[in-house]
Structure 1
């Protein structure tokens, strides 16, 4: 990525964020994380109470990139075919026709994902990781861009199925919308008085192909070997931190490097700095750290573990020459 391309990327990124914020008011940081997740070709996990704008965020993001949006309400009786689609026999053609499920969209909102059975949750695994659905030994591509925004209610856990570690690891980022501040709440109430129950429609800014182009540009952002070593030290430290049962995997380290490239480009840089890693360490790595029972009982959190790791591991202060290639 050239400096000129980085500046164009940053300007376009800010325009996308501003467009989504017409609907999701007062959550700039969360919207920036969601857009960065989309441009990093990843998926987002939102842990939040009902009524904070999760559906509005997914819809506005899809409208901004001129894509499609689907919402799946996960319930205990939801079947995998309700998510991915099903083959139905056509008596006229005497053949099976595949009817696509709601997962075939640019942005898919998986609402209350932990309320569905593990079998239905697993139906998302292949499409989240590989971008395709396999039904009756036939694969169907979902297209690009493709992003799953899954939600969980952190308060009510009765009748839910905890997401397994393998599926949590598929989510690039985890964050929370939270409640808006007072001024933002007043602005939301004032805007809602005139439109009733009609949802706000934002104008599309870019095409899906432009989203793919931005993703390819972000992958070209330079990451110094010293920063790669810093990321490695961080994830290794999570594996030996007190109270940790399972630390960050190599997939988590790859995810962090992928997102910091996009984050650097969103600030108009064609290179990554240590502050990019520090800013994204918690939303990218916290849900990949599992604590043991004693640590959880004492009130420790994965966020506290990461704060300690970031404080203990010194960031690089100088660039490092790349290692010579092996002949």
Structure 2
């Protein structure tokens, strides 16, 4: 791609193609695209039936990437994800049979229903981009991107992700319920399609997607915005309303995703609004509030917003960018 305006046309084509299957949710899809362009993984926490699987599958199809889904259950074993060595009688030797984790976009559905041991097998792959079976390490395909889901209302028979494992996810997002008009449009689209099956055309291919990822590294971010990001994260460690603040991964992910979002807007530079756009999604699962605030519904949002208001927004001159 010669310039960052090409990001806009590519994004528009992707959103239009996904729009044939997914009604609305453009902000959610754009958030996922920004995360994927920086090799970031996503935790999708929302109620059942809101299109999480459809969104993940549609994005994979339009990006021209391989997609697989794993339904996590309490009896799922690590080797059910990673694969295992199987004895081939005809050949007289063991051969590795790949598990569903050998894909490019993986939907880990209801990840908190699997045992901590099985969760760890996935989280190790997310961090190292490889799996180790019987002492043998095998590289995963590039890119390797994970969307994990969990239901915020059903906790019986689940194994909540520890804070250290939650930190591996760059963002925690939700799709929310559709509006009246959007839900009506869902019915109209299904009526016109005359089938439950959905097939979308690839807008780009694997090579082009990897090229886009590399292009993100050319997005300029001023030092004042870098310090703005660090100040936000530091504030989470000093605030009396927060028991445990964000790790440095919060700074790094906010830095990376704001650059990708700037590129998707056709800009070669980051502005403060790019950072603000993702602060809640990056921090909501990384901070632990004081127990006195646990029963307040929007406590995380209130605390994060108050931190943002307490920090002076940098003014960045475009000169020299």
- Corresponding residue number in structure 2 for 1:111: 109
SS in 2 for 1:56: helix
- Corresponding residue number in structure 2 for 1:185: 183
- Corresponding residue number in structure 2 for 1:224: 222
- 1:123 maps to 2:116: no
1:78 to 73, 76, 79: 76
Uncovered stretches (5+) of structure 2, i.e. residues with no partner: none
In structure 1, C-alpha distance between the alignment counterparts of 2:195 and 2:70, rounded to whole Å = 20
- Corresponding residue number in structure 2 for 1:151: 149
1:207 to 205, 208, 214: 205
1:44 to 28, 42, 45: 42
Q: What are the residue-to-residue correspondences of 1:1-327 with 2, within 5 Å?
A: 5-195=3-193, 198-299=196-297, 301-318=299-316
Uncovered stretches (5+) of structure 1, i.e. residues with no partner: 322-327
Alpha carbons 2:35, 2:257 under 8 Å: kept: yes
Query: Residues 299, 51 of structure 1: CA spacing in aligned structure 2 closer, same or farther, 3 A cutoff?
Result: closer
In structure 2, C-alpha distance between the alignment counterparts of 1:320 and 1:302, rounded to whole Å = 33
In structure 1, C-alpha distance between the alignment counterparts of 2:4 and 2:235, rounded to whole Å = 32
The offset of 1:10, in angstroms, is: 2.0
In structure 2, C-alpha distance between the alignment counterparts of 1:62 and 1:298, rounded to whole Å = 37
- Corresponding residue number in structure 2 for 1:324: none
TM-score normalised per structure 1: 0.93
In structure 1, C-alpha distance between the alignment counterparts of 2:211 and 2:179, rounded to whole Å = 35
Alpha carbons 2:222, 2:316 under 8 Å: kept: no
In structure 2, C-alpha distance between the alignment counterparts of 1:180 and 1:78, rounded to whole Å = 33
In structure 1, C-alpha distance between the alignment counterparts of 2:194 and 2:96, rounded to whole Å = 38
- Superposed CA RMSD in Å reads 1.8
In structure 2, C-alpha distance between the alignment counterparts of 1:166 and 1:17, rounded to whole Å = 33
The offset of 1:302, in angstroms, is: 2.1
Number of equivalenced pairs: 319
TM-score normalised per structure 2: 0.94
In structure 2, C-alpha distance between the alignment counterparts of 1:171 and 1:83, rounded to whole Å = 19
